[in-house]
Structure 1
């Protein structure tokens, strides 16, 4: 499974979701100007990254065929 390029791409997409989520939580915790300026933008980026990650996971499961 670790040699499958689609699995690696899906794992990278999941990691990207985690990074965007952590930046958003950190900005929310600190508050201030950064949170006011970027909170909604980070939420939209997280949702887009999650959508892509879920699609990649589904495609991986579809093509792996229960290997």
Structure 2
């Protein structure tokens, strides 16, 4: 069971990194035209940034839960 959880942890960490990188790329692709839109206008790049950062938080939470499960299963002992 530990092996399955370790593999799941690695996948969750990789997904976190992937979502983080995609969010940063979306931020860097913001165009000058989007920045000059009127105040209150929803920008497509902002929506993508928000989606990727939400995904990052979700995958980070999954990784933390998996670590907690691993610690509980192993008794937290060394």
Note the 1:20-39 alignment, pairs <5 A.
Answer: 20-32=19-31, 34-39=44-49
Relative to the length of structure 2, the TM-score reads 0.69
**Rg bigger for which structure?**
2
- Please list every run of 5 or more consecutive structure 1 residues that lacks an aligned counterpart in the other structure: none
Comparing 33-42 with 7-16, greater Cα deviation is found at 33-42
- 1:37, distance to aligned residue in structure 2 (A): 2.9
Aligned-pair RMSD on alpha carbons?
Answer: 2.0
Which of the pair is proportionally richer in helix?
1
4+ runs of 1 displaced by more than 6 Å? none
Relative to the length of structure 1, the TM-score reads 0.78
- Distance, in Å, in 1 between the alignment partners of 2:65 and 2:58 is 11
- Please list every run of 5 or more consecutive structure 2 residues that lacks an aligned counterpart in the other structure: 32-42
How many corresponding residue pairs? 65
TM-aligned CA distance change 1:64 to 1:34, over 3 Å: farther
